[in-house]
């Protein structure tokens, strides 16, 4: 029988309760037990006591001294992620930090150094790396059927007006730090987590009550790699495909539950030979340079989402690491490369900040 790991969750908001907590309360979870929940809001503590049958606290520091907790999930406000994670690590806890990992590259480095000094695990909840749609896209790219990839478009778009704390720069909000860690993590993975990336970006604050951006266009380039165009917009009524990939032999488009692609076999296609003389048809009239390729077309549905299958796979990874010492497939060092990009984005787009 598998060992049960005891978990404490800090925060019972959308992430702490509705993502992490939802997994721990689900039938898919057979290895973790929530033994403590921390939230400063009383009704959330009372609800957590009923839902998990666990101890509840108003302050995470009330966990200090407990020796029965194997893992703490840090689902505090974004700006609290690093200071709370470091405090937990220094008091002997293994920690999963919600995204964004940190407000800056330097803060992320501080958290990693604290984990190394304490000899404890620190990881970042970038579960979309295990999302079924992304796993399938990686399989297609690895197969080579699309040929040399020239461009990858990633669009996490929709139309929404917002007025909660995620609209505040002071609280670490905005589309880049809130939604952005998912497409940016995938983009950096596709680029091989390079230490230095050329970044062009534009941010705007359009339909929000706060000072944080709700529109972001981010173009990433690395020598020898495809150009990646990331868009995270709350100003798009006509939601596009999540992914569009252009290659020398074909193209792919996908959203979270469906994938389509079209490609040709270069071995059966007519060889490309450059002709410099004007082209003409059989009657001698001018002819446009065109051909009919024998396309292979595929359309398939994708089962599972970022909020069930991906979460389960993420926690399977954490379990193997904590019980068997298996290496983490998602590491905070990888996420540091994302933080460098986010720092560049905000440096290129200084936004007016409300008090």
pLDDT tens track for 62-86: 999 999 999 999 999 999 999 999 9
Question: Which of 129, 97, 98 has its CA nearest to residue 114?
Answer: 97
Q: Token pair of 248, please?
A: 């020398």
Quick one: pLDDT band at residue 2, thresholds 50, 70, 90?
A: confident
pTM of the model: 0.94
Per the CB < 8 A criterion, the answer to whether 222 and 116 are in contact is no
* pLDDT on residue 240: 82
DSSP for 234-284, written as a single string: SB-SS---SEEEEESSEEEEE-SSEEEEEEE-TTTSPPP----SPPB-TTS
pLDDT digits (tens, 9 = 90+) for 36-50: 999 999 999 999 999
Domains and CATH numbers, the chain: 5-125 (3.40.50.720), 129-305+338-348 (3.30.360.10)
Q: What is the pLDDT of residue 112?
A: 98
**What pLDDT, on the 0 to 100 scale, is given for residue 165?**
83
Mean residue pLDDT of the chain comes to 95
Q: What is the pLDDT of residue 353?
A: 73
pLDDT reading at 210 higher than 90? yes
| Burial (CB count <10 Å: 0-12, 13-18, 19+), residue 280 | exposed
- In the predicted structure, residue 355 carries a pLDDT above the cut 70: no
Distance CA 30, CA 312 (A): 10
Q: b/e for 179-190, b at 16 or more Cβ within 10 A?
A: bbbbbbbbbbbb
DSSP-assigned beta bridge partners for residue 9: 37, 73
Assign 1 a pLDDT band (cuts: 50, 70, 90): low
The pLDDT value given to residue 290: 87
pLDDT at 206 over 80: yes
Q: Is residue 294 predicted with pLDDT exceeding 70?
A: yes
List residues bridging with 225 in a β-sheet.
none
Residue 113 CA to residue 108 CA, distance in Å, equals: 9
- Percent of the chain at pLDDT exceeding 70: 99
């Amino acid at each position: 029988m598998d060992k049960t790991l005891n978990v404490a969750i800090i925060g019972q908001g959308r992430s702490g309760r509705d993502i992490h907590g939802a997994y721990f309360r689900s039938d898919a979870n057979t290895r973790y037990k929530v033994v403590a929940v921390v939230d400063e809001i009383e009704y959330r503590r009372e609800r957590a006591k009923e839902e998990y049958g666990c101890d509840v606290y108003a302050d995470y520091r009330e966990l200090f001294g407990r020796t029965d907790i194997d893992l703490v999930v840090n689902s505090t406000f974004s700006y609290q992620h690093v200071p709370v994670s470091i405090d937990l690590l220094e008091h002997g806890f293994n920690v999963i930090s919600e995204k964004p990992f940190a407000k800056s590259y330097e803060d992320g480095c501080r958290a990693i150094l604290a984990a190394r000094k304490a000899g404890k695990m620190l990881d970042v909840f970038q579960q979309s790396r295990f999302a079924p749609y992304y796993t399938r896209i990686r399989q297609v790219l690895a197969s080579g059927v699309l040929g040399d990839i020239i461009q990858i478009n990633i669009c996490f778009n929709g139309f929404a007006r917002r007025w909660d704390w995620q609209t505040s720069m002071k609280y670490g909000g905005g589309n880049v730090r809130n939604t952005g860690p998912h497409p940016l993590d995938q983009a950096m993975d596709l680029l091989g987590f390079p230490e230095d990336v050329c970044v062009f970006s534009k941010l705007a604050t359009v339909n929000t009550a706060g000072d944080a951006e709700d529109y972001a266009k981010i173009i990433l380039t690395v020598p020898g790699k495809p150009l990646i165009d990331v868009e995270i917009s709350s100003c798009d009524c006509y939601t596009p495909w999540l992914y569009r990939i252009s290659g020398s032999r074909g193209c792919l488009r996908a959203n979270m539950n469906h994938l389509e692609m079209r490609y040709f076999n270069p071995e059966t296609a007519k060889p490309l030979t450059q002709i410099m003389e004007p082209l003409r048809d059989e009657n001698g009239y001018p002819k446009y340079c065109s051909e009919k390729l024998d396309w292979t077309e595929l359309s398939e549905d994708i089962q599972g989402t970022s909020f069930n299958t991906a979460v389960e796979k993420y926690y399977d990874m954490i379990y193997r690491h904590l019980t068997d010492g298996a290496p983490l497939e998602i590491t905070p060092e990888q996420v540091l490369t994302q933080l460098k990009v986010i720092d560049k984005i905000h440096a290129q787009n200084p936004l007016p900040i409300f008090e």
